[in-house]
Structure 1
Amino acid sequence: MGHSRRVVITGMGVVTALGESLDAFWGALCAGRSGVGPLTLFDTTDFKVHFGGQVRDWDAAARFGVKEARHLDRFAQFALVAAEAAVADSGIDFARLPADQCGVFIGSGIGGLSEFEAQHSTLVHKGPSRISPFTIPKLMVNAGSGQVSIRWGLQGPCSAVATACASAANAIGDAYKLIQSGHADVMITGGSEAAITHMGLGGFAAMRALSTRNDDPQRASRPFDRDRDGFVMGEGAGILVLEAEEVARARGARILAELKGYGMSADGWHITAPDEEGRGAARAMKRCLADAQLPPEAVGYINAHGTSTPLGDLAETVAMKCVFGDHARKLMVSSTKSQLGHLLGASGGVELVASVLALRTGVLPPTINLEQPSEGCDLDYIPNVAREARVDHVMSNSFGFGGHNASLLIGKYVD
């Protein structure tokens, strides 16, 4: 099939701790604001960590109606709201397109964790006969994709990717390949996650993955900084509308960017720790460049995975040096997780939206809280203040537990 069709991005939507409209989200990112704060979803008194990148003031009943809200886990609610925004942004009218050529790929690392916890509690305290009939449809990882396809009656390829923190990036890359090869014309794609729950927070804290900077939450996520002590949990969704170029042009769509490359790999190393030499991450980036048929020098900015973990940030830096060689010194790199926290399976979706906005506006978001770069972390990470810089190509990296690596590459659309 090869490089048969060009694939473009025509719409985007987000739900994040920094807002839901693209304007609010982008404005906050460029201003260097943090969306991290005390958690209010449940009582965290007994937990080691009391803060995160929580989506505030979320009223599901007001958005979906009381009955419908009860049938949707929080992660699926995020997916639907971000998808609605992306579809509105794209101006697409699915009634005018063949339903079997329009599909959905939405990733999630964990799916309906809050529903799982609530119903397990019911099972233990009230018995199996009291378990809700909506339990399985709410907790399954594919609920986001399924609900979005139902919302518009889409009948093309529909799937859900679960590769931990690479889920959204893999979903977007897979959707891109389906359009490129002619298996679909339009795909709604990205990721959604709502794992700030008792088990989510407790589980990540138990494996010592999280920052415990409880006295200063806004400065807890500090990618590439000497004093980083783990990631900060976030939640939300990032959804994009991808179309075959000729389909977008035929309907007079506003084209935001072109998706040009996708690379993926496995570390084959450890279930949670990255390969210390970043070989898996480097393979994904190299494959992404090869897929885009571009030299390393073409990339001006990388939205890094940059989770603020001691091992991960260093491994990613080593990988970037390996792939980009001398050009690594000229690259501009930043981690928006410094402001949003880590959205796990949704991070690649939200970060690709940020990457598109960076490409379009000529403003690159900063890595906040970067005060003393860690030893070996010696690239240009756009510390603390956004930078005006025109770039033609942007890469976005997502790496997940299990050793999953995914890189996406976008460029300005040129006829």
Structure 2
Amino acid sequence: MATRKKIPLLLKLVLGIVLGLMVGSLLGRFQVVWPVRVFATFNGLFSTFLSFVVPLLILSFVTMGIADLGKGAGRMLGLSVGLAYVSTAFFVGLAIFSFRLLLPYMGLEGGGFQQMMDNPNDFLLTGYFSIPLPPVMDVLTALVLAFVLGLGLTGLSSKENALYEGAHIFQGIIEKLIDRAILPLLPLHITGVFMNMSYSGEAKHVMSMMLVVFLFVVSFQILTLFVHFGLAGVMTKRNPFKLLWEMFPAYVTALGTRSSAASIPVTRRQMTVIGVDEDIADFTTPLFSAIHMPGNAISVGIIAFSLAAIAGIEVSLADTFGLIFMLGIIMVAAPGIPGGAILAAMGFLQTNFGFSEALITLAIAMDFATDPTGTATNVTADGALALEVQAIMEKKEKAK
């Protein structure tokens, strides 16, 4: 008996946006309100549940992300983790500050959409009812507790203990919750949001903004690869363009699978092709697939600032540096699923940027559009970073 092929989540999201735009526009033309309000009710309940899950997600994934770093040993682990964090923070910082400089020329600020975000009840229809569901802890508490637990677990001599096993099981529960409940309902949620915006007449501006942001994100992801391989080429005295071309199979694989983990066999093989020692490739490939995500960090950072701009939210320099600093850590917490990066960053955007339900939903939709190129950027840059780690280790050995 032939098995049915599942529709990819990205396609479901695209279909949800298109359906929401078409139905919302049609209902607006005939002034039919109740279907939009039914979806608005579902959206409110879904967003409340999502806010409840976010601290649990951060607690589970950051704890295990830090704890699992303790499975490596020696100077190479510290060097690899340090370079991965610097890489993520540097490139997302470069993208964000470049975006801020170019923002006045992009036509994203102001307009009717800003008024809609300032006074959503004047533009968007509300649901029939809502159910309060306060999170068990706030985002900052979850993050600090995760650091305490994760660092504590790395200090234990053995991973075979009740606390580690319990944290691992808890992570599995949250991962299944996201995979089997949140992600399947996400297309319906996005359909409702775009239906509501289309009904209010603001969808056209949002779609044009999404295209501008997508092009900017992809441009900086490509720039990240050129800079990384340029640096690796200088450190190894090899042609950076040839190195990048030899890692390209990993890029294509990640683009298709949208998973760093699924790309590990190809990534490791191409690392050895560009000259990474097998021992270093064996160590860095799985490690970098979990902690080195400059492509996804760029996507989340630019999306956050673009939505803040169109919603008229003033982001201070302190919050800008805070986002850059936190994204390097948040990427460790990101679940290994499509869209995991934006889900992990939701709490920070709600708490520090003041993002509303509508802005969070738009951020999720936009991040899913750039997730394939972000993942491809991550795994390809892993090859350059492995070469950099190897070059530094060799230099230290010669200096002895």
* TM-score category, normalised to shorter length: under 0.3
Structure 1 or 2: larger helix share? Answer: 2
Q: Which structure has more RCO (C-alpha within 8 Å, separation ≥ 6)?
A: 2
**TM-score after normalising by structure 1:** 0.26
- Looking at secondary structure, tell me which structure has more strand per residue: 1
TM-score by length of 2: 0.26
